């Protein structure tokens, strides 16, 4: 199962096809092609799946989810944390 951690949009490409998001301190590029033009702006919180922005979420909901993830991460060892945050684009269901 893949979990989508809310990520904050910190940069949008000029052609609005890509963005850079911050996921709990880790930045990565994400594709915006699943979203309509001007649907996503810098500062918005989004959910990703396999590198694509799938939807935008409200900041309050994002903060509640991030707090829950932080509580879960506290229970994990360092390798589990890395896999949960840094490697989340490598979902085992990616081809499913």
pLDDT tens digits, 64-75: 999 998 898 888
Residue 23 phi, psi (nearest 5): -110, 95
pTM: 0.79
Instruction: Please report which confidence band the pLDDT of residue 96 belongs to, taking 50, 70 and 90 as the band edges.
Output: very low
Q: Is the dihedral of CA 26, 13, 66, 51 positive or negative?
A: negative
pLDDT of residue 30: 96
Is 9:48 a contact under the CB 8 Å cutoff?
A: no
pLDDT tens digits, 8-44: 999 999 999 999 999 988 899 999 999 987 789 999 9
7-85 has CATH 2.30.30.140 classification: yes
Using the predicted structure, report yes or no on whether residue 88 has a pLDDT greater than 60: no
């Amino acid at each position: 199962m893949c979990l989508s951690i809310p990520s904050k949009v910190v940069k949008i490409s000029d052609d609005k096809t890509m963005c850079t998001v911050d996921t709990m301190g880790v930045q990565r590029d994400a594709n915006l092609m699943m979203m309509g033009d001007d649907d996503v702006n810098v500062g918005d919180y989004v959910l990703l799946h396999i590198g694509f922005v799938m939807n935008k979420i409200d900041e309050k909901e994002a903060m509640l989810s991030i707090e829950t993830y932080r509580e879960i991460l506290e229970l994990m060892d360092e390798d589990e944390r890395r896999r949960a945050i840094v490697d989340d684009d490598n979902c085992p269901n990616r081809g499913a």
